[in-house]
Amino acid sequence: MPTAMEIYKLLPKTNCGECKLPTCLAFAMQLANQKVSLDACPHVSPEAKAALEESGSPPIKSVSFGSGEFVVEIGDETQLFRHDKTFYHPTVLGLIADDAEGLEGMKAKMDAARAAEFERVGQIMRVNSVALRHSTGNPDEFVEAVKAAAAKDRPVVIMCEDASVAAKAVESCADKRPLLYRATPANLDQMVELAKGRSLPLVLGGASSLDELSQMADKAKKAGLADIVLEPAAGSSAETLENLTAIRRAAVKNRFRPFGYPTMMVLGSSEADRTRAALGVMKYSSVVLMEELPREFLYPLLALRQNIFTDPQVPIQVKAGLYAVGEPDEKSPVLFTTNFSLTYFTVRADIQKSKLPAWLLVVDTEGQSVMTAFAAGKLTPESVAKVIEDEKLKEKNVRGEIIIPGMVSRMSGKLNELTGLKVTVGPRESSGLPKMMKSLSG
Amino acid sequence: MGFELPKEKYGGRIKEVVIGATKEQGGTRSRSIVAGGSNGLAFHKFESESPNGPVVVMDVVDTVRMVPERLLESMGSALNDPVEWAKKCETEWGADACVLKLQSANPEEEDRPAEELAATTKKVLESVGLPLLVYGCGFEEKDAKVIEAVSNAAKGERLFLGLAEEKAYKSIAAASMANGHGVVAFSNLDINLAKQMNILLLDFGMKPENIIMDPLMAALGMGLDYSYSNIERLRLGALSGDPMLQMPMICDCSCAWDVPEAVEENPEHGEAELRGIHWEMLTAYAAAVAGADMVIMRHPKSVKLFRDAIADISGGV
Ligand code: B12
Ligand code: SF4
């Protein structure tokens, strides 16, 4: 939002009072604090209005594609470094199906993309999108594939630089809001027309320089296209880093409007491409499309994306309380851990591996791991005793025992004193739990 | 008007630190290596210079208790002997340096005596020409003895000794100063603690060119997000001109092999060792992109992938 002074300069300065405020300056101050709406002044000029809307809008436009449950939102970032606040919209990862592979080949790729979904620390991580690319294949088959992909749930990217084929593909699924790829300096006008006609987001790429890319964006915007995605040249990681950094800085620091859009990278299937995908996740690429995503690489890449896009101020956490693992009864063992998601899900999975039912008591440590919380004084015998009390553990369970993480063996004595429960020190790593629990029951 | 790339110029520069000493420099290493020296964000070649790319230090652990079974099989029996392991790093795996982790000093496990570990260090030095870092086992009292013995046994070699922690740095710093070695200053994911550690060491009498800092690299999926941002902040602090943050940073990425998800059998996530290789590679790559001047790695295949990635992002041609 602009400051009161910036707004004041754009007002008529007649102090006519029709906005129900005594002066234009008073109005400007209220507007800067978002207490009034610009519409309250009937005299503001259209140019001033446009300028104010522009400067009040976010540095990078939010763009969405796809529809329904799996719709993705990209852009709307405000930072160069995640520690300054956070990165908001995780890089959208998509798998490319090329029509050189034929219809069946493309369908197999679509299925592979949809199957690539994992749960990690309580969140779903997935390949978000399917990209259909028209290269050397039959255009009809390509359109057919786009239609088939759009009929399913994942957002679709239509990759085709031939405007007439692209138009047919768009025709088959415009209501599913596909992302259209791409306008180049050679076909800019036709592609912009096509995207605009259907209000679809369009990728601009193929420019020989960032300057040219910015001119394309400017032109597309003036032609009335609202949703733009920028694809700068990305021959090597060095070039990728330079271009994506330039775009992000220009948008966020200099408010350079032609670059106030999300970005994108299209990669192949080599080892180098995998590295570039990781770079894109860390350094400002809103969409990364790849030809291949072997599982051994995909899972760590998704974990990297999850890490980079976690809000630095708020660790991923679960609610404190008493959780059942399996179907425990009043005699089943009770264990405690912290409410940091990573800790909770790791421990829970290890208990499940024992195939024995148990109660897992989750202590609120503000989302910190066992050792971090212990070192910071957020996991104490007192805090554990309090949850035991609050959850009425002794009424629900008659075993009279609690298993504690091996790393906090030092709290055993005090915890026993406070609760009267027998305190059993478990292994340091929860991976040792199956063995321990089997010996308890056996 | 034409789009102009918005460039940043910083006032600060990371200090260059030399690891290892050749004959001319008073040691016996076949070459020494330099870490640091950059005056910009990592790989921002378009606005700054980095005369020395990230240094790859390979792990050599003196007891394989800590090494997953699978790696022992695939990396070969050399892992059973630190001397053989170090040789492999030098001749086959392309390390710039090695870090000898003297885990067998652990008083709760093998509890090997200081003299024996000093002898191991000496043997490694005689068998390879690479510069060496030497870490103790993390038990303060024992490490004081071990590091002192190692320091004496390797006079003039310009080892980097670690890890110097806030509450237990004096013995390591003294051992370094006595024989012309450097120190690795450990701090716990906190920019102020990292700075504090450097100040303590300087106050103790160490020279800045003898310090590298380890700000704790948490592996991918195990808090990498915290480390990534901490490293970025440290780097920005150094570039904005704080001399207490201008020591090169080292990140131990071999911790990736301790992450259960990275190595467990789980066909849904692909073949385990290859997944582990990517896990370590991505941990190291994230460290380097955030600003690490040195990385510690274990698997030769991760090192290979990392080297290729660095070549691609350094834009050789
Ligand atoms: C990421 C991290 C942080 C993050 C926080 C992450 C978070 N949300 O908790 C940040 C940067 C904030 C942080 C801060 C600090 N940290 Co910290 N941190 C780490 C790090 C790198 C990873 C922790 C982690 O996520 N582990 C993964 C989870 C899953 O582990 P876990 O919770 O312990 O669970 C395991 C076991 O405990 C066990 N387990 C868990 N529950 C149960 C239950 C039962 C019944 C059983 C049997 C087992 C079991 O199994 C789990 C899987 O193996 C570790 C070092 C490391 N590599 O481990 C240091 C570490 C934990 N931190 C440490 C310290 C000292 C701190 C600080 C006090 C530093 C400081 N002076 O500022 C601060 C405290 C924060 C504060 N003041 O509020 C020390 C603790 C030292 C000690 N021995 O006491 C560590 C070990 C680093 C070190 N080597 O010095 N930290
Ligand atoms: S209505 Fe508009 S012109 Fe009149 S005082 Fe309010 S701001 Fe000024």
CATH code of residue B130: 3.20.20.20
**pTM (2 decimals)?**
0.93
| Any domain includes B10 | no
Q: Do A296 and B278 touch (CB under 8 A)?
A: yes
pLDDT, residue A97, reads 97
Identify which of A246, A282, A303 has the shortest CB distance to residue B6: A246
User: Candidates A10, A19, A45, A52: which one to mutate for ligand 2, based on the most atoms within 8 Å of Cβ?
Assistant: A19
Which residue in chain B is spatially nearest to A117 when comparing CA positions? B268
Residue type, A15: N
| Any domain includes B8 | no
**Distance in Å, CA A375 to ligand 1 centroid:** 8
**Distance in Å, CA A11 to ligand 2 centroid:** 7
Rounded to two decimals, the ipTM of the complex is: 0.96
Q: For chain A, what percent of residues have pLDDT higher than 90?
A: 89
pLDDT, residue A54, reads 75
Tens digit of pLDDT for each residue in A48-81? 888 887 777 889 999 999 999 999 999 999 999 9
Average the pLDDT over A34-48 and give the result.
87
pLDDT, residue A427, reads 96
Average the pLDDT over A19-47 and give the result.
89
| Any domain includes B217 | yes
Q: List all residues of chain A from 345 to 364 with a beta carbon under 8 Å from chain B.
A: 346
CA dist B294 and B288 (Å) reads 8
Q: Do A300 and B44 touch (CB under 8 A)?
A: no
Q: Do B3 and A211 touch (CB under 8 A)?
A: yes
Average pLDDT of chain B to the nearest whole number:
95
pLDDT, residue A1, reads 64
pLDDT, residue B317, reads 42
Q: Domain count of chain B? A: 1
Average the pLDDT over B234-246 and give the result.
98
| Any domain includes B166 | yes
pLDDT, residue B1, reads 54
Q: Do A250 and B224 touch (CB under 8 A)?
A: no
| Any domain includes B233 | yes
pLDDT, residue B316, reads 58
Q: Is the pLDDT of residue A15 over 70?
A: yes
pLDDT, residue A34, reads 79
| Any domain includes B276 | yes
Least confident of A181-195, B63-77, B97-111, B236-250: B63-77
Average pLDDT of chain A to the nearest whole number:
94
Domain containing B299 equals 17-313
| Nearest alpha carbon, ligand 2 atom 4 | A16
| Any domain includes B5 | no
Average the pLDDT over A395-406 and give the result.
94
Residues of chain B contacting residue A213, judged by C-beta atoms under 8 Å apart: 3
Which residue in chain A is spatially nearest to B274 when comparing CA positions? A296
| Any domain includes B6 | no
